[in-house]
């Protein structure tokens, strides 16, 4: 009896502790629960996507043929007209036309698009601002009437906007309606929920997907129903959409990207598409091009086109394929915690150590499968974290912690760094008691990326051949990084992120990084002799302070670096496209270099998201310039000095001569920039080139 009483007390204490945690649900633990959700999607895999939904894709092919985005509005008008003529069902714009078309001269391109919109079943997109109250044009246009049932002062959790960015008036007045395409990712950057309604200025506005659905159903009234916890569901016509308390729908993703029909915007523009692919279909106009920065993280991919998330939401609603969290799930979770804890305490207490180990493993698998069934078969999203935590904690308690905490620091180091650093570096790490906890330190950060990888990938007839091609490149470059004592942080598709001066200190970390970059450019020439098509890359390098240490969840973590310095290094890699260079380093990296390199100043820039400007440099090789190149660099520095002093006429003449002499893009770029500055009669010139894109 005493043993039974002790087990009961143990069960009550453990279950009570995790039930309290579940009730409080601290934000810091939310990401762990999200990891469970993501793992369920990975376990389930892909499911059938609706054939009634298609995406008009502003892809790399379209950008190459029609020019960089934004296009002139007459091109957009032609696309919309061709879709309308093909008898599309409805079109949603995953973009906003916030400014007048600057390409309009004698012909008003905005008017052309507005006239097309008048006869097209199109829903424009707009963006709400949540950080500031900035506005640009008139408030959003929408035709829905919202009815709220059960609302009181204690259950109003609808997401409230502070400002907006809407379409210009000409287009707003011509389109049938508009909806917000805002997506608010979770704290880990993954989009799992998408808001369907927003509050602004005392009014309610729909999301793009909700407004498209309302327009398709031909209804005007949208009912928002509340319970004591917040919004319970949104009813539109005969469709009831279960939401969370904020009016967000959980996205039941059909799988990885490109699950829906993608039709190139260029094909629509050229009218070379199959009309049967458009007729009666629900269409979304957006982009999958990496350069247009509408790639999001989802449980399936870290580079998921934002427009396809809207497609998934529409698919979920139209086919009633929901996953929701009803208000009663809190009580269900608590009851399950008590039942599971009680069962485990008594079962493990009476089993031998061997059988208890087998039983524990089988139980956790069964629990995982049961929660999976609840999520995908019943459409109920329980809080997986506390059910698993309570189970695991109970198992640990019954086996005593010493049976489960026998992994040594050296094993952990091998596990974390075996694929990140060279064997020699691993041996050095094993000599010391490495502290994996997060701390700040100076590192030199490296980003590289393959140019036009989307175009390259289209040349491969199968994904397996593309992977062989990509892996040969990544292996080649990774070996060079490891040989230069670098730490490989991650592979982001075709991109490589690495860093120096962590986890072990390195006196010449900037030199090691720059030499590695130069070696990679040189080695790429040899690699390109063995592969087709050839590869070109851009490399960005910055030295600065970052947070270094273990980041992640209990079941999935990694030793990595985070911070503004990482973001800047990534931006510098992106700038190699703008300046048509291979290696760009920051001024901070240049100051840390101890050896001699062929370096020339490129520009003073302010990258996207940063107000502070930095001087950037191009690395052309190791050693010194020859006499001819020294003379060219001297002339270039003279021209650059004129440019910085706003003496654009003198600078223009020198840049023109340099361009004619060398044919280099950099000099012609500065020549063209000087011409523009002269024509604009710039007086207050700070010499900073500001970038609005990554």
How far is 671 from 675, CA to CA, in rounded Å? 6
Checking if the pLDDT of 513 tops 90, the result is yes
Checking if the pLDDT of 428 tops 80, the result is no
Checking if the pLDDT of 219 tops 50, the result is yes
* Domain presence at residue 298: yes
Out of 186-190, 350-354, 434-438, the most confident range is: 186-190
Residue range 316-354, pLDDT digits in tens: 999 999 998 877 788 888 999 999 989 888 888 777 767
10 Å CB burial of residue 378 (0-12, 13-18, 19+) is: exposed
Checking if the pLDDT of 230 tops 70, the result is yes
What pLDDT sits at residue 435? Answer: 63
Task: Indicate which CATH number applies to the domain containing 604.
Answer: 3.30.70.1230
Same domain for 294 and 349, yes or no, is: no
What pLDDT sits at residue 381? Answer: 86
Return all residues near 166 (Cβ < 8 A) that are at least 6 apart: 96, 98, 126, 127, 135, 136, 137, 138, 139, 140, 141, 172, 178
How far is 628 from 602, CA to CA, in rounded Å? 19
Same domain for 556 and 655, yes or no, is: no
* Domain presence at residue 413: no
Average confidence score pLDDT of the chain? 89
Comparing 123-127, 188-192, 264-268, 682-686, the range with the smallest average pLDDT is 682-686
Same domain for 314 and 330, yes or no, is: no
Residue range 377-399, pLDDT digits in tens: 888 888 888 898 899 888 887 87
Same domain for 313 and 259, yes or no, is: yes
For the chain, helix, strand, coil in percent to 5 are 45, 20, 35
Residue range 238-268, pLDDT digits in tens: 999 999 989 999 999 999 999 999 999 999 9
* Domain presence at residue 57: yes
Same domain for 77 and 178, yes or no, is: yes
* Domain presence at residue 12: yes
What pLDDT sits at residue 414? Answer: 59
Same domain for 482 and 536, yes or no, is: yes
Checking if the pLDDT of 6 tops 80, the result is no
Same domain for 86 and 217, yes or no, is: yes
Comparing 49-53, 310-314, 343-347, 492-496, the range with the smallest average pLDDT is 343-347
Same domain for 290 and 349, yes or no, is: no
Full domain range(s) for residue 384: 2-44+325-403
Alpha-helical runs (H) found in 400-436 = 409-417, 423-431
What's the mean pLDDT in 1-6?
69
Residue 327 · residue 227 · CB < 8 Å: yes
Domain count, the chain: 4
* Domain presence at residue 630: no
HSE-CB at 135 with a 13 A cutoff on CA atoms is 10
Same domain for 454 and 540, yes or no, is: yes
* Residue where one domain finishes, among candidates 369, 403, 437: 403
Same domain for 101 and 220, yes or no, is: yes
Checking if the pLDDT of 2 tops 70, the result is no
What pLDDT sits at residue 625? Answer: 94
Return all residues near 174 (Cβ < 8 A) that are at least 6 apart: 113, 114, 115, 117, 118
Same domain for 352 and 477, yes or no, is: no
* Domain presence at residue 154: yes
Tally Cβ neighbours within 10 Å of residue 325. Answer: 17
10 Å CB burial of residue 48 (0-12, 13-18, 19+) is: exposed
* Domain presence at residue 414: no
Checking if the pLDDT of 373 tops 60, the result is yes
What pLDDT sits at residue 410? Answer: 56
Instruction: Please state the φ and ψ torsions of residue 420, each to the nearest 5 degrees.
Output: -100, -35
* Residue where one domain finishes, among candidates 291, 318, 345: 318
Which comes out higher in pLDDT, residue 407 or 256?
A: 256
Give bridge partners of residue 118 from the DSSP assignment: none
Same domain for 88 and 216, yes or no, is: yes
* Domain presence at residue 524: yes
What's the mean pLDDT in 466-483?
92
Comparing 12-16, 176-180, 583-587, the range with the smallest average pLDDT is 12-16
DSSP 3-state assignment of 91?
Answer: strand
Which comes out higher in pLDDT, residue 356 or 83?
A: 83
Checking if the pLDDT of 215 tops 90, the result is yes
How far is 208 from 285, CA to CA, in rounded Å? 12
Strand intervals (E) in 36-121? 53-57, 90-93
What's the mean pLDDT in 451-455?
90
How far is 263 from 625, CA to CA, in rounded Å? 50
Confidence of residue 427 (pLDDT cuts 50, 70, 90): low
> Does this model's pTM top 0.85?
no
Residue 372 · residue 364 · CB < 8 Å: no
* Residue where one domain finishes, among candidates 290, 318, 346: 318
């Amino acid at each position: 009896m005493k043993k039974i009483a002790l087990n009961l007390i143990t069960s009550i204490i453990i279950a009570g502790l995790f039930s309290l945690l579940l009730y409080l649900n601290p934000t810091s633990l939310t990401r762990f629960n999200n990891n469970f959700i993501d793992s369920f999607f990975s376990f389930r895999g892909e499911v059938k996507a609706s054939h009634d939904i298609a995406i008009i894709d502003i892809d790399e092919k379209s950008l190459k043929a029609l020019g960089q985005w934004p296009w002139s509005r007459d091109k957009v008008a032609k696309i919309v007209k061709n879709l309308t003529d093909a008898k599309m069902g409805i079109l949603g714009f995953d973009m906003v036309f916030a400014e007048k078309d600057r390409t309009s001269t004698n012909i008003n391109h905005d008017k052309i698009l507005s006239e097309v919109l008048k006869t097209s079943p199109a829903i424009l997109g707009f963006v709400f601002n949540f950080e500031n109250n900035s506005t640009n044009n008139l408030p959003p246009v929408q035709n829905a009437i919202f009815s709220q049932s059960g609302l009181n002062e204690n259950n109003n959790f609808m997401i409230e906007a502070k400002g907006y960015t809407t379409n210009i008036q000409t287009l707003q007045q011509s389109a049938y309606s508009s909806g917000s395409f805002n997506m608010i990712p979770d704290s880990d950057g993954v989009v799992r929920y998408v808001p369907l309604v927003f509050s602004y200025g005392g009014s309610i506005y729909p999301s793009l997907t909700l407004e498209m659905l309302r327009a398709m159903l031909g209804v005007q009234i949208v009912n928002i129903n509340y319970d004591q916890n917040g919004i319970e569901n949104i009813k539109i016509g005969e469709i009831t959409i279960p939401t969370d308390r904020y009016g967000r729908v959980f996205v039941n993703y059909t799988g990885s990207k490109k699950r829906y029909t993608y039709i190139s915007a260029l094909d629509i523009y050229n009218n070379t598409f199959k009309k049967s692919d458009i007729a009666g279909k629900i269409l979304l106009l957006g982009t999958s091009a990496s350069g247009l920065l509408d790639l999001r993280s989802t449980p399936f991919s870290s580079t998921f086109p934002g427009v396809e998330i809207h497609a998934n939401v529409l698919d979920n609603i139209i086919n009633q394929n929901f996953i929701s969290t009803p208000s009663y799930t809190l009580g269900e979770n608590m009851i399950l915690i008590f039942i599971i804890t009680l069962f485990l305490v008594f079962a493990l207490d009476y089993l031998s150590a061997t059988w208890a180990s087998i039983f524990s493993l089988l139980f956790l698998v069964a629990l995982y499968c049961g929660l999976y069934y609840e999520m995908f078969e019943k459409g109920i999203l329980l809080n997986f974290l506390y059910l698993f935590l309570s189970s695991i904690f109970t198992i640990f308690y019954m086996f005593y912690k010493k049976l489960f905490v026998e992994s040594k620091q050296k094993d952990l180091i091998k596990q974390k760094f075996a694929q990140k650093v060279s064997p020699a570096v691993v041996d050095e790490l094993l000599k010391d008691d490495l502290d994996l906890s997060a701390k700040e330190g100076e590192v030199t950060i490296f980003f590289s990326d393959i140019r036009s990888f989307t175009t390259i990938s289209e040349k491969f007839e199968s994904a397996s051949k593309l992977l062989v091609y990509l892996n040969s490149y990544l292996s080649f470059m990774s070996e060079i990084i490891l040989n230069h004592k670098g730490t490989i942080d991650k592979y982001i598709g075709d991109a490589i992120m690495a860093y120096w001066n962590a986890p072990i200190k390195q006196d010449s970390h900037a030199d090691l990084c720059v030499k590695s970059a130069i070696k990679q450019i040189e080695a790429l020439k040899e690699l390109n002799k063995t592969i087709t098509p050839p590869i070109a890359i851009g490399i960005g390098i910055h030295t600065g302070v970052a947070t270094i240490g273990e980041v992640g969840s209990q079941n999935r973590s990694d030793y990595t670096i985070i911070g503004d310095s990482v973001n800047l290094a990534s931006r510098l890699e992106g700038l190699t496209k703008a300046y048509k260079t291979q290696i760009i380093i920051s001024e901070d990296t240049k100051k840390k270099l101890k050896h001699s390199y062929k370096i020339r100043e490129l520009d003073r820039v302010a990258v996207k998201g940063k107000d502070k400007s930095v001087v950037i440099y191009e690395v052309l090789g190791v050693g010194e310039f020859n006499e001819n190149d020294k003379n060219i660099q001297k002339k270039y520095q003279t021209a650059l000095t004129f440019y910085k002093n706003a003496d654009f006429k003198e600078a223009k003449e020198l840049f023109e001569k340099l361009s004619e002499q060398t044919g280099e893009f950099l000099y012609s770029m500065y020549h063209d920039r000087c011409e523009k500055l002269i024509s604009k009669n710039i007086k207050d010139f700070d010499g900073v080139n500001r970038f609005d894109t990554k």
